[in-house]
Structure 1
Amino acid sequence: MKILWVFAHPERRSLGGSLLAEGLRTLESLGHEHRTSDLYGMGWKAVVDADDFGGASRERLFVGAEQERAYTERTLSEDIVREQEKIAWADTLVFQFPLWWFGPPAILKGWFDRVLVQGFGFGIKGPDGRTLRYGDGGLAGKRALVVTSVGARDSGFGPRGIHGQLEQVLFPLLHGTFWYTGMAALPPFVVYGADRLTAAGYAHGAAELRERLRTLHTTAPLPYRPEAGGAYDEDLVLRPEFAPGTSGVGVHR
């Protein structure tokens, strides 16, 4: 397999940095190729602006249109192009980050904003003129895995936990970014209680990560409904015969 590992943590000597090293060693031992984007180490620019789109009009910036124009005309900034080349090379993407305020750090959100541009990650039309998304799109055929750590105990993210179930907390990323662009979202890998992890706890988490990576190619993705599968009406609302009487993000599985 060809794996791109996107790492978003400011400290390589952290738990996250240790898990990154463990993960890359495991991929190598399994014979997989890998490339890494260490966003803090790269000094990644996290904000979209006109400088991303060489030749963008300064009168008024329409981000989506300028993204697509620059992608088509090959005038995107070099840092964006390098990341897109890594994505095109990979068949699986791993996104590792600490869970901050129930989401990834701003630097990773900025990577999504700047790299998955219109015309590359989304906004692509099929032969029938239909916009390809939610199971289709520019990244269809790839798989995506979240590797994250949280300070809270796992019970707080359980079915009745105060924080909410983690898969639903991460719904904007798993469904709204991965699945929207066509990537199959794998069940997230999580290390809980990161702030109080003992040596034994780390050894357990590292072993679980090695196992997840060993089965990376066979793990079943989250069974999200494709937009083009007939479950949604013309207004993109789930038809009443699917998950009848229920609502919320869970109905999209």
Structure 2
Amino acid sequence: MNEAVPQTPQQTSQQTSQQQNKKILVVSAHPEPRSLNAALTAFAVGHLRAAGHEVQVSDLYAMKWKPAVDADDFPGHAPDRRLAVMAASEHATLAGRLSPDIAAEQEKVRWSDAVILQFPLWWFSVPAILKGWIDRVFTAGFGYGPSVPPPYSEGALAGRRALVSVTAGARETAFSDRGIHGRLADVLHPVQHGLFWFTGMAPLEPFAVFGSNQLPDERFAAAKQEYARRLDGLFTDEPVAFRSLVDDYDHDMRLLPGTEAPGTNGLDLHVRP
């Protein structure tokens, strides 16, 4: 039996560097460049680059991102034809005929090993400009559809990590199991499960800063320290254990009986025990 050849310290260092150096896309959505969200974006970019990662930033307000899907997204679509958005987006995506701003953002997602969304929680959802980024960028043929792998499992964008970094004006207890706003995991389910996991990305537990309307320096310092820890675990922390479509659901996309722990209900059904 052949013995393993010991690695030199230089080889070990190079291997570790290759494992750690990743490509990360940060998508930021806040209109004020002096906001907490902008500060968290800048902190994340600096921290990740200092760790040796490559980072690209899509600052949607600075880019003056167009949030609404319309026929202009699909150059060549005949103006006298009914706009069936899914069919038109799939045709334009597969033909390489999307509008340049969409194509550029899709290329950033393809380039990335991880995507971070940075946004304030507005009306229990993402800001409209970020929803528009999702609507326009994740076209049929790119993020979903019959021409790519099935959703809720391997998915079109499998192999990528995804992290939500969100600020909320309310206190943390208001987003608890008995809190009036509901659990944060439930509020963010459309992003975590409906965007990330649907397209195959592995979502991590969200990072949240609560009470963000009044954040004294000591709390901001603590938030940065915790965010640094989460960023350091971007590729090593366990993602949310959402269930796989191909293993856990029937032909009608209903969870197979008996797969959940007794007493489990609601959105918790879709997370493995």
TM (normalized to structure 2)? 0.89
- How far 1:57 sits from its partner (Å)? 2.7
2:100 counterpart residue number = 78
- How far 1:125 sits from its partner (Å)? 4.4
How many Å separate the matches in 2 of 1:90 and 1:125?
Answer: 21
- Post-superposition CA distance 1:94-114 (Å, at most 9, x none): 000000011110000101110
- Post-superposition CA distance 1:161-189 (Å, at most 9, x none): 11111011100110011100111111000
Which of 107, 111, 115 is residue 89 of structure 1 equivalent to?
111
- How far 1:217 sits from its partner (Å)? 1.0
How many Å separate the matches in 2 of 1:35 and 1:157?
Answer: 31
How many Å separate the matches in 1 of 2:182 and 2:158?
Answer: 29
Which of 16, 24, 48 is residue 69 of structure 2 equivalent to?
48
Indicate the SS of the match to 2:142: coil
Q: How many percent identity over aligned positions? A: 49
- Post-superposition CA distance 1:214-234 (Å, at most 9, x none): 1111111000001011x1111
- Post-superposition CA distance 1:86-133 (Å, at most 9, x none): 01100100000000011110000101110000001000446xxxx600
2:125 counterpart residue number = 103
Which of 32, 43, 66 is residue 88 of structure 2 equivalent to?
66
Are 1:28 and 2:49 counterparts? yes
For the aligned residues, what is the CA RMSD?
1.1
TM (normalized to structure 1)? 0.95
How many Å separate the matches in 2 of 1:149 and 1:245?
Answer: 32
Are 1:57 and 2:73 counterparts? no
How many Å separate the matches in 2 of 1:74 and 1:81?
Answer: 8
Which structure has the higher relative contact order (CA within 8 Å, separation 6+)?
Answer: 1
Amino acid at match of 2:122: W
How many Å separate the matches in 1 of 2:50 and 2:229?
Answer: 12
C-alpha contact (below 8 Å) 2:161/2:234 kept by paired residues = no
Are 1:172 and 2:190 counterparts? yes
Change (3 A) 1:147 1:234: same
How many Å separate the matches in 1 of 2:94 and 2:242?
Answer: 30
Indicate the SS of the match to 1:93: strand
Indicate the SS of the match to 2:213: helix
Indicate the SS of the match to 1:195: coil
Which of 254, 258, 261 is residue 237 of structure 1 equivalent to?
254
Amino acid at match of 1:239: L
Indicate the SS of the match to 1:182: coil
Indicate the SS of the match to 1:173: helix
Please identify the structure whose Cα radius of gyration is greater: 2
- How far 1:73 sits from its partner (Å)? 1.3
- Give structure 1 regions of 4+ aligned residues with deviation exceeding 2 angstroms: 244-247
In the alignment, structure 1 segments of 5+ residues that lack a partner are none
- How far 1:246 sits from its partner (Å)? 3.6
C-alpha contact (below 8 Å) 1:135/1:184 kept by paired residues = no
Aligned counterparts, 1:1-253, within 5 A: 1-58=22-79, 59-125=81-147, 132-229=150-247, 231-243=248-260, 244-253=262-271
C-alpha contact (below 8 Å) 1:124/1:138 kept by paired residues = no
In the alignment, structure 2 segments of 5+ residues that lack a partner are 1-21
Q: Which moved more, 1:74-83 or 1:53-62?
A: 53-62
How many Å separate the matches in 1 of 2:78 and 2:259?
Answer: 46
C-alpha contact (below 8 Å) 1:134/1:179 kept by paired residues = yes
- Post-superposition CA distance 1:134-172 (Å, at most 9, x none): 022211111110000000111111121111110111001
How many Å separate the matches in 2 of 1:98 and 1:50?
Answer: 29
How many Å separate the matches in 2 of 1:173 and 1:138?
Answer: 16
